[in-house]
Structure formats: structure tokens, C-alpha cells
Amino acid sequence: MALTRFGVAMESSLLAQFDRLVEERMSSRSELIRDLARAEIIRSLKSQRVDAFASVTIVYNHHVRDLSERITEMQHELGDQVRSAMHVHLDPERCLEVIVMRGRADRLQKVAETLFATRGVLQGSIEIVADTSSAGAPTHNGYHHAAAQARSTRPPSRTRSRRSS
């Protein structure tokens, strides 16, 4: 991809802080500006009707009546939008739940807000990342995920079958 050069003007005190950040990250000014631009563009897509992934984290008091069941019910109602969930017992009173979802960014935000407003939820946060891929199926180095493999509790076989001649 071709790069375009342009000038940036900023206060010297801001530039000094920026340069410290560049140094901490062992990066360059250009790379950090590109990273910040990408992050802001992705952030601006959150409220729009674009495909996205979301990580919703909540901390809640599990002694609140039926709260765990309501959280689970919400996830079941979302169906395939919920890709994964992790539940952690923090202490005798509190649990942490991380829910990974896929769907339209604006809808994911509304789902999170509903969870955060649920009685007994003490804290909540959401991180939304726009799905900028052009392909529908997730891949890693050319290997496609199959829905059946994702749901399977057995790891995929590593052996290859031999064909006889």
C-alpha cells in the first residue's frame, strides 16, 4: 500500500509527550499516528450499522436473586451472536463474565447497555471492533474454522490419512 506524506502541526508540549509515547512503544511518529488514526476510525464505527465483534465484561453480585439465570437467558436469546462466554468467581460475592459477540455494532452496544443496567451488575465495559474483513468465514493462515469444530469438545485430529494406490 502506498504511503502519502503530509505535515502535522501541534504544540511543542504535546509533541514532547507524543515523542515519549513513541519512545515507550519503540515505534516511530508515523507508525503511532497511523495506529491512532486506525483506532479512531474503528471507534467511530461503533454506533453505526457495521458488522463488528464485541467483548462485553461485567462484574456482578451473584447473590442477587436470579441474576445469573437472567444473564444466561440474555445470552441464549442472542443465539449465534454470542460466540463465547467466560465466567470467573472473583470472591464470595462477585463474579466476572466476559461475553464475546458478533453482530451489528449499534445492536451490540444496546445489548451491553441492557446488561449494564441489570440490577446486581456492579461494573461493565464493552470493547467493539469493526469487522473490516471482506470474507465471511474466519480464517487463520488459510485454515477455515468450521462451525462443527468450534462446537466440538474434542480437538481436531492432527493425523493425515494415507491413501493407498
CATH label, 51-130, candidates 3.40.630.10, 3.30.70.3000, 3.40.50.300, 3.30.70.1150: 3.30.70.1150
Tell me which DSSP letter residue 44 carries: H
CB neighbourhood size of 112 (10 A): 22
Q: Give 100's strand partners.
A: 55, 84
- CB-based contacts of 117: which residues, under 8 Å, 6+ apart? none
Q: How far apart are the first and last CA of the chain?
A: 47
Query: CA 98: distance to chain centroid?
Result: 10
Whole-number Å distance between alpha carbons of 6 and 22: 18
Cell of 93: 460475592
89 closest CA partner among 112, 116, 61, 69? 61
Q: Can you say whether the dihedral through the CA atoms of 23, 29, 30, 36 is positive or negative?
A: positive
Query: Where does the chain hold its CATH 3.30.70.1150 domain(s)?
Result: 51-130
pLDDT the model gives residue 152: 38
pTM exceeding the 0.75 threshold for the entire prediction:
no
pLDDT the model gives residue 118: 95
HSE, CB side, 13 Å, CA atoms: give it for residue 24: 7
Assign 138 to helix, strand or coil: coil
Q: Provide the residue-wise pLDDT of the chain in tens; the chain has 165 residues.
A: 788 999 999 999 999 999 999 999 999 999 999 999 988 887 777 777 889 999 999 999 999 999 999 999 999 999 999 999 999 999 999 999 999 999 999 899 999 999 999 999 999 999 988 887 744 444 444 444 444 344 434 344 444 444 444
> In sequence order, which ranges of 58-104 are alpha helices (DSSP H)?
67-78
